Structure 1
């Protein structure tokens, strides 16, 4: 599967050695990763890292569980691909893995090669098309963005600087710069050197929602 941007996976696993191994395998296969040992840390990472997929154990040794985390994050970002990697029996996950439509369940007992893990991620990602596949400046196209990305896009449309966006969102300027760069890539507004990506992104927002207030 070819993409114009590196796909990101948020890995949540309470066993340190396995967490490191999973990240290493994914990075070797072209993914960018961020890792957390529990759901609370993962939720904090989610907004800044802006993942395309969540790879999580179900039992994280504390609450919220991996299933609860996946439910919460998929509500915030409907495009998020979900893969559960767990020692739970497959039957426990149910027909729709832990009640989440299109989630993929992989028993740890069957994780015998990197291909098994990568194939599961590709399956989950193919069920959640990349935002670039969405058509142009429409409300439906922008609907593939996360809530946080839409908020940042609205601030861009108001003409706010990165410094002001950082202050408003409680982020660092560097984090805002990364978020905006990824947002521009998703909206595919960086291809024409004669057009400012900031102006093009704001125009898409105006076309979908009208003047920003």
Structure 2
């Protein structure tokens, strides 16, 4: 049996982070959570994820785009999904291969992107 996919979930809204974490765990994922980019960077120092799901706009100096670029520099095969309440056209360019999810989103949209990322990283 293969190991559970490792997902780093970065979201500054507590209720949303809790809900998405529960969904990922119910999908059989090994999940770590962070409430901002700096906390996520600390997690990545000792734990490597297969999939990163992050909000783009968070408190602190590290946003989701910077976090994605950092992860992909270290692990080019990792899959990244970034979310934002801002329309895609109002955001800076995303790193190559990064998927975008517009907030608010339905849980089915979230789980479909996670499954795609899981399959792509397997």
Which one has the bigger helix percentage? 1
Could you say which residue in structure 2 is the equivalent of 1:26? 24
Matches within 5 A, 1:54-93: 54-93=52-91
Superposition RMSD on alpha carbons, in Å?
1.7
Q: Could you state the TM-score of these two structures normalised by the residue count of structure 2?
A: 0.89
How big is the shift at 1:67?
A: 0.6
Preserved contact between residue 15 and residue 37 of structure 1 (Cα < 8 Å): yes
Question: SS state of the match for residue 99, structure 1?
Answer: coil
Partner Cα distance (1:107, 1:29) in 2: 22
How big is the shift at 1:122?
A: 2.3
Which one has the bigger strand percentage? 2
Q: Which runs of 4+ in 1 moved over 4 A?
A: none
Could you say which residue in structure 2 is the equivalent of 1:112? 106
Q: Could you state the TM-score of these two structures normalised by the residue count of structure 1?
A: 0.53
How big is the shift at 1:93?
A: 4.5
Give the number of the structure with larger relative contact order, counting CA–CA contacts within 8 Å between residues 6 or more apart.
Answer: 2
Number of matched residues?
122
Partner Cα distance (2:90, 2:8) in 1: 23
Matches within 5 A, 1:1-213: 4-93=2-91, 98-109=93-104, 111-113=105-107, 115-127=108-120, 129-130=121-122
